[in-house]
Amino acid sequence: MILGSQPLFASEHDDKVGSIYFEKGRLRLIHPSGPTREVYRSYCVCMTNPDKKARNRDIDTIRIWVKKYWDMKIYPSIEAFEKKFLGSIRMIKVDKHAVNESIEGSLFELIVDSYGGIRSYHPSRGYVSPLKKTLTQEQLDFLELSIIYSKQISHWIMSKININGTIDITADSLKTLLREDLLSLKVKRENVVMIWKIFSLLIDIYSKQDNIDEAISHIIQELKIYVEIDRFSDDLRHYIFDKKFNLIGTQTRSSMGSEIMSKEQLIKKYNTSPIYLRSIYAFIKNPHQDPSTIAYYTVLKIYMRNNYFLERLCGYFGNQLLRESGALDGTGLDVDDDN
């Protein structure tokens, strides 16, 4: 393992393990953006003010202090940090090799370079917690490999999904393509058997259209994209192409009042996207289509090109893989199952 032989401690939130920490980084488990392995050096403290708002203010104070140095193109040292804040802010320095009991509060990491300069920081939602069980090397290897390759293979499979969110290739055809692409994915020879199990599970997950639909629906709700869908749908409903077409009755027009939009207003509002415009013109040609359906697929096509949206989709399937692969079995890790 790149991160070190044994995990040192965990961060927990609502009694669920969010990440496990090693000498050289962490494995993030179930998370809206998916599992990930992060390799870095860090100095850890736990912000211990029982008042969460005050705790967040303390974190902001540290952020402002660090950024002042960065603005001068200086990376402040851990020594300068300790001199400034230890004793003045309610925090406990975390001895990563001696976490024998939980430390209530919020874990806060300062990411440092090889010279001890602070390059970044990571505020965790969770508190510091000892691991409840020693993991075997085989468990750690499988867990790490599942996390490393879930996102990589998810991106690979996402490239095979059509722009409207459908996948028109079978699990067998995906496996054939995958064999051809194994070299490009840089899989180490000694990990091929373990990785093939992970690949096969991901392919089985992705090759079911119901899973794709459920994932897209979940991300749309989570990112509140449905608000945008509803707005576009309402604009289509309130659109009047021309009086001579009489698309809606006079009484309905009156009840809509100022919400009525002309063809020109509708096009002007959405002229930033060719996909929106194509959808509007499709509606003009066939005004009896359901605006909600048009809006859904229009917005979906836009977001299927959006890197952040795709990252969240990959994260969703990475979480699903971690649950179904058996990588957590026997580890004693109780993970958040809501994301």
Q: Residues 119-151: pLDDT tens digits?
A: 999 999 899 999 877 788 888 888 888 888 777
The answer, yes or no, to whether residue 278 has pLDDT greater than 80, is no
Residue 245: pLDDT band with limits 50, 70, 90: very low
Average pLDDT over residues 310-323: 86
Measured between alpha carbons, how far is 315 from 215 in angstroms, rounded to an integer?
10
Cα–Cα distance for residue pair 321/34, rounded to 1 Å: 10
Residue 207, pLDDT > 60, answer yes
Q: Is 53 exposed, middle or buried (0-12, 13-18, 19+ CB in 10 A)?
A: exposed
Strand 239-240 relative to strand 261-262: parallel, antiparallel, unpaired? parallel
Residue 176 to residue 160: CA distance in whole angstroms:
13
pLDDT interval class at 163 (50, 70, 90): low
Residue type, 312: R
**Residue extents of the structural domains in the chain:** 9-132
Question: 9-13, 25-29, 34-38, 272-276: lowest mean pLDDT where?
Answer: 272-276
Tokens of 227: 């608000």
**Mean pLDDT in residue range 102-121:** 95
Paired strand residues for 167: none
Question: For 180-206, what is each residue's pLDDT tens digit?
Answer: 666 665 666 666 777 777 777 877 787
Q: Estimate to the nearest angstrom the gap between the alpha carbon of 236 and the chain centroid.
A: 32
